[in-house]
Structure 1
Amino acid sequence: MQTKTSPNKEHTNGTSFQPFQSNSRFFDRNEFARLVSVHGAERNSKGFKCWDHFVPMLFCQIAQAKSLREISGGLASANGKLRYLGMKQSPSKSTLSYANQKRPWEMCRSLFYQTLNKCQYLAPTRHKFRFKIKLLSLDSSTISLCLGLFPWAKFRRAKGAVKLHLLLDMMVTPQILYISQQVARRMSP
Structure 2
Amino acid sequence: LLEPINRRQFRTAVDGVDGDAYDKSFTSWDHLVALIYAQLSGNDSLRAVVAGFNANSQHHYHLGTGKLRRSTLSDANARRPVSVFAQTFATLSAMASRQLRCEGKEMVRLIDASPIPLGKVCNWATWNGRIRGMKLHAVYDPKGDVPSSVEVTSANVNDIEIGRQVPIQPGTTYVFDKGYCRFDWWQKINDSKALFVTRAKQRIRLRAFKHRTIRKRKGDGFKIIADDEVKLVSKGDSRLPIPLRRIKLRRENGGVMTLLTNDLDRTAVEIAALYKSRWQIELLFRWIKQHLDIRKFLGTNDNAIRLQVLAAMIAYLLLRIAARTNCIKMLPLRLAELVGQLLFTRRALATIDKPPPINPSRRQSCK
Measured against the shorter chain, the TM-score band is: 0.5 to 0.7
Q: Aligned equivalents of 1:41 and 1:137: distance in 2?
A: 32
- Cα 1:55–1:136 change in 2 (3 A) is same
Contact 1:168 1:176 in 2 (8 A): yes
Q: Of 58, 62, 82, which residue of structure 2 is paired with 1:84?
A: 62
Partner of 1:148: 121
SS of the residue corresponding to residue 43 of structure 2 reads coil
Partner of 1:54: 32
- Cα 1:87–1:135 change in 2 (3 A) is same
Q: Of 68, 71, 96, which residue of structure 2 is paired with 1:94?
A: 71
SS of the residue corresponding to residue 90 of structure 2 reads helix
Matched, 1:104 2:81: yes
Amino acid across the alignment from 2:19: A
Q: Aligned equivalents of 2:65 and 2:119: distance in 1?
A: 30
Give, in angstroms, the shift of residue 140 of structure 1: 8.2
Partner of 1:41: 19
Identity level (%): 23
Gap regions ≥5 residues in structure 2: 157-281, 283-367
Contact 2:90 2:149 in 1 (8 A): no
- Cα 1:162–1:64 change in 2 (3 A) is farther
Aligned positions, number: 153
Partner of 2:147: 174
- Cα 1:87–1:174 change in 2 (3 A) is closer
Q: Aligned equivalents of 1:106 and 1:98: distance in 2?
A: 17
Q: Aligned equivalents of 1:49 and 1:143: distance in 2?
A: 28
TM-score, length of structure 2 as denominator length: 0.35
Contact 1:142 1:163 in 2 (8 A): yes
Contact 1:147 1:153 in 2 (8 A): no
Amino acid across the alignment from 2:145: V
Give, in angstroms, the shift of residue 135 of structure 1: 6.8
Cα deviations across residues 65-89 of structure 1 (Å, max 9, x unaligned)? Answer: 2221221122122111121100122
Q: Aligned equivalents of 2:57 and 2:119: distance in 1?
A: 29
Contact 2:43 2:49 in 1 (8 A): yes
Matches within 5 A, 1:7-46: 23-46=1-24
Q: Aligned equivalents of 2:121 and 2:31: distance in 1?
A: 24
Q: Aligned equivalents of 1:161 and 1:65: distance in 2?
A: 22
Matched, 1:121 2:98: yes
Give, in angstroms, the shift of residue 45 of structure 1: 2.5
Cα deviations across residues 5-42 of structure 1 (Å, max 9, x unaligned)? Answer: xxxxxxxxxxxxxxxxxx22221111111111111101
The structure whose Rg is larger is: 2
Q: Aligned equivalents of 1:148 and 1:103: distance in 2?
A: 21
TM-score, length of structure 1 as denominator length: 0.63
Amino acid across the alignment from 2:84: M
- Cα 1:153–1:65 change in 2 (3 A) is farther
- Cα 1:30–1:161 change in 2 (3 A) is same
RMSD: 3.4
RCO greater where, 1 or 2, for CA within 8 Å and sep 6 or more? Answer: 2
Partner of 1:71: 49
Contact 1:145 1:153 in 2 (8 A): no
Amino acid across the alignment from 1:145: L
Give, in angstroms, the shift of residue 53 of structure 1: 0.9
Amino acid across the alignment from 2:98: Y
Contact 2:112 2:139 in 1 (8 A): yes
SS of the residue corresponding to residue 140 of structure 2 reads strand
Cα deviations across residues 87-138 of structure 1 (Å, max 9, x unaligned)? Answer: 122x1111111001111111111111111111111224269xx7xx777789
Contact 1:168 1:175 in 2 (8 A): yes
Amino acid across the alignment from 1:168: Y
